Structure 1
């Protein structure tokens, strides 16, 4: 497709991707996490249980599931529910990525190791649900289409440990700690907004080194 570069907005942004909020922007805006599969989960569980029961019944009756109308009907119902979740997520990611591409340049994000994070069983489901990898992919190709810049920050950059105001490094904090006050300059900090502002500062620093 033939896309024209978007006009300059002279607005840059840092994005911290999260689970409670889908994305936290360096201007303080938080994008709600729609949690598609979570919303549909009860319904999906119920319909999948029905599907399992019909499968077991067919086996008990020694019938081929391909010929069981009830089983096939239920299988289609479960497939449609999965499809609806996928469609809603795709639509959400498309709208959010397009909105960011229209308004900001450069866009600074962490180079997340989503695959590695999925090994954390406590968070895996929530991470899969927010689809960070798919979102970053969309940002990348839309940036190419519209002449925008995406700057990826090293995943080991301590964005949540630094105070964005004075740069004081306060060490790792457990995920329960959402707000704190910088011991050096006494600025009250919101964990995610602070991280996104540090991502922006580091992203702009890297971006400037690549400019002629």
Structure 2
């Protein structure tokens, strides 16, 4: 039994159950994770990035300022924070806002990963160095907001449960540099370049869709060697 910061109580019960494997679909898909779009799929779909934290940011800042003011008021009156009713009430309100963001994000990730696992036998995705990326202070907040690590974790255990295959591509695989049509390496491109034309075969590319196609091809190649 536990009580979370928002004041809700939860009971955890461990049970053993048999998970039924899903039917095979003879379908494979590549996924390129992004910040503007959460996920770009090799079938051409782009999954919208639900920026839950940023949507609530203004409200959270406002309520956190109220919390700080009530803490200061209690201190000036010589009241311990555990005994300051207004402070504790505001603290629970801020905790509920954080909890709402977490629940929204978790629901989004669960629905997306379940859809992918149901519709594809093999899912190919980059083995992202998220910890390393979080050291980039300009991107850290946005990367945390989109929850790449949680997305991959959910894909892994659901693939294991339902008899599907998750193939992780090497972090340094040049998915954004290769032409998905002729495999020519056209070199590194700055992040502001979203569309480009292959200098070898003149095929026009959407940067992210092209990357997801390359991730799929590499995943299929690695699987054939296994």
Global fold match (TM > 0.5): yes
**Deviations along 1:5-35, whole A, 9 cap, x unmatched?**
2111111000001111110000110011111
Indicate the residue corresponding to 1:110 in structure 2: 126
Looking at structure 2, the residues matched to 177 and 56 of structure 1 have their Cα atoms a distance apart, in angstroms, of: 49
Indicate the residue corresponding to 1:35 in structure 2: 51
Indicate the residue corresponding to 2:83 in structure 1: 67
Higher mean C-alpha deviation, range 111-120 or range 54-63 = 54-63
Indicate the residue corresponding to 2:105 in structure 1: 89
Instruction: State how many pairs are aligned.
Output: 210
Indicate the residue corresponding to 2:199 in structure 1: 183
- 1:208 and 2:224 aligned: yes
Looking at structure 1, the residues matched to 204 and 68 of structure 2 have their Cα atoms a distance apart, in angstroms, of: 52
**Deviations along 1:62-98, whole A, 9 cap, x unmatched?**
2111111111110000000000011111111100000
- Match of 1:138, SS? helix
Of structures 1 and 2, the one with the larger relative CO (CA 8 A, separation 6+) is 1
Indicate the residue corresponding to 2:138 in structure 1: 122
List alignment gaps of at least 5 residues for structure 1.
none
Looking at structure 1, the residues matched to 71 and 132 of structure 2 have their Cα atoms a distance apart, in angstroms, of: 35
Find the partner of 1:145 among 161, 174, 185.
Answer: 161
- Match of 2:196, SS? strand
RMSD: 0.7
Looking at structure 1, the residues matched to 116 and 131 of structure 2 have their Cα atoms a distance apart, in angstroms, of: 24
After TM superposition, the score normalised by the length of structure 1 is 0.97
- Give the C-alpha shift of residue 128 in structure 1: 0.3
Indicate the residue corresponding to 2:170 in structure 1: 154
Looking at structure 2, the residues matched to 4 and 209 of structure 1 have their Cα atoms a distance apart, in angstroms, of: 28
After TM superposition, the score normalised by the length of structure 2 is 0.91
- Match of 2:171, SS? coil
List alignment gaps of at least 5 residues for structure 2.
1-16
